[in-house]
Structure 1
Amino acid sequence: MAPASPAARAGAHPLPRMHELPVMLKSPSSEEIRLDRRRGTARHSPMAGGIVIEEEKRILGSIEAHGWYAVHRYDPELVEPNYTYSVGFSQTLDAPEFIVFGLHRDVMYDMLAGVYDKIKAGRKLEDNQVWKGLHEDFDCVARKVSHEDAFEKYAVLADWLWARNGHGGHPALVQIVWPGLLDGLYPWDAGCRDTVKEAQPKLWR
């Protein structure tokens, strides 16, 4: 049986407030669409592997054409930090999916695109790994996600693709963590500003 779509699951099991808000999806082709999960099941298209909603069909098409898809979430009330994550790294690169919080969506998209290009070029991955060049003003650190609610609360569509491809459990997920621009301190450093910590939920151990 094909895995249920995230929209269908959202209808059956109400998700946290962040998931009930409209979602911005941005593909590597720079096309953006809005996805409202409360109305997302209205349009369906039969595809190999089961029934998917139109937005999921668009994601699959982008992965086929570009290798991955970027999903951006935002809270219009600015209570929760915005974030962007990849869908398709696990399929195209046999690599973890990546997620980054708290920056402008274009910046986060460019960071994920940089990660994709580096992995495709042969970069080997390690936990607590420093990534240079993802942002011109600072180095980032990649941390393995271990938060038990990471896929239910954040990377829903990455989990959906993983299940759709016939895998059990969840895909690996890595959080890109950035430092304070003024002091260069990361969330785990003593003296790191609260604004830097609050913008990046701690999904690592």
Structure 2
Amino acid sequence: MSSSTVFEKLEHDIEKHGWHVLSVLRKESPSFSYTIGFQETLKHPEILMSGLRTELMHKLLNNIGNLIKKGYTFNDGDTCNEVIKGYPVKFLSVSSHQVEEYFRAAVVHYGKDNFQALQCIWPDKDGNFQLETDVNQDILA
């Protein structure tokens, strides 16, 4: 798919749904998915997830968007039990040096310093959150 086609779909989805979810498949490290449009339409930071199946991350990011539409707001350090049934998730601010690498389409859409970004991290089966990157998910804080 050409980059112009990707950006046409992105703009269409933002206009129709309020946001677009973009997935990046990687072989050497965890794949990730992120939103573009939350800042613009919901006045909320964009959100990234890493390390799950892209289809699942797409669904979870859409769930987060729907929660935001209902009035939820997520900030650095917040947890939420409404995203993954039976498990909390945690939101962390993405460090500024990671934004350009991980949110490339959002940087093109908004400009480099014109949006905020959070990462939604998921816990292990015991409900513990990792604080550093491992083979399961990148941590961008």
Regarding TM over 0.5, the answer is yes
Contact 1:72 1:85 in 2 (8 A): yes
- Mapped pair 1:179 → 2:123: yes
For 1:186 and 1:197, locate their aligned partners in 2 and report how far apart those are by CA, in whole Å: 12
Q: Deviations over 1:99-156 (max 9, x none)?
A: 00000112111111111111111113321101112112411001111141322x1111
Q: How does 1:27-106 map to 2 (within 5 A)?
A: 35=1, 40=2, 53-75=4-26, 78-106=27-55
Q: Deviations over 1:136-181 (max 9, x none)?
A: 2411001111141322x11111111113xxxx62410000011112
Partner letter of residue 145 of structure 1?
V
- Structure 1-normalised TM-score? 0.64
Structure 1 residue 61 displacement after superposition: 0.8
The alpha-carbon distance between structure 1 residues 140 and 103, as it changes in their structure 2 partners (threshold 3 A), is same
- Structure 2-normalised TM-score? 0.90
- Count how many residue pairs are aligned between Structure 1 and Structure 2: 141
Contact 1:115 1:134 in 2 (8 A): yes
- Mapped pair 1:203 → 2:132: no
Contact 1:97 1:171 in 2 (8 A): yes
For 1:150 and 1:201, locate their aligned partners in 2 and report how far apart those are by CA, in whole Å: 13
Corresponding residue of 1:115? 64
Contact 1:147 1:203 in 2 (8 A): no
The alpha-carbon distance between structure 1 residues 112 and 186, as it changes in their structure 2 partners (threshold 3 A), is same
Secondary structure of residue in 1 paired with 2:97: coil
The alpha-carbon distance between structure 1 residues 187 and 147, as it changes in their structure 2 partners (threshold 3 A), is farther
For 1:135 and 1:121, locate their aligned partners in 2 and report how far apart those are by CA, in whole Å: 17
Runs of at least 4 residues off by over 3 Å: none
The alpha-carbon distance between structure 1 residues 85 and 103, as it changes in their structure 2 partners (threshold 3 A), is same
**Structure 2: segments with no counterpart, 5+ residues:** none
Secondary structure of residue in 2 paired with 1:98: strand
Corresponding residue of 1:158? 106
Higher relative contact order (CA 8 A, sep 6+): 2
Secondary structure of residue in 2 paired with 1:148: helix
For 2:48 and 2:134, locate their aligned partners in 1 and report how far apart those are by CA, in whole Å: 16
Please give the root-mean-square deviation of Cα atoms over the aligned residues, in Å. Answer: 1.9
Contact 1:90 1:162 in 2 (8 A): no
- Mapped pair 1:145 → 2:82: no
- The structure with the largest alpha-carbon Rg is 1
Contact 1:114 1:134 in 2 (8 A): yes
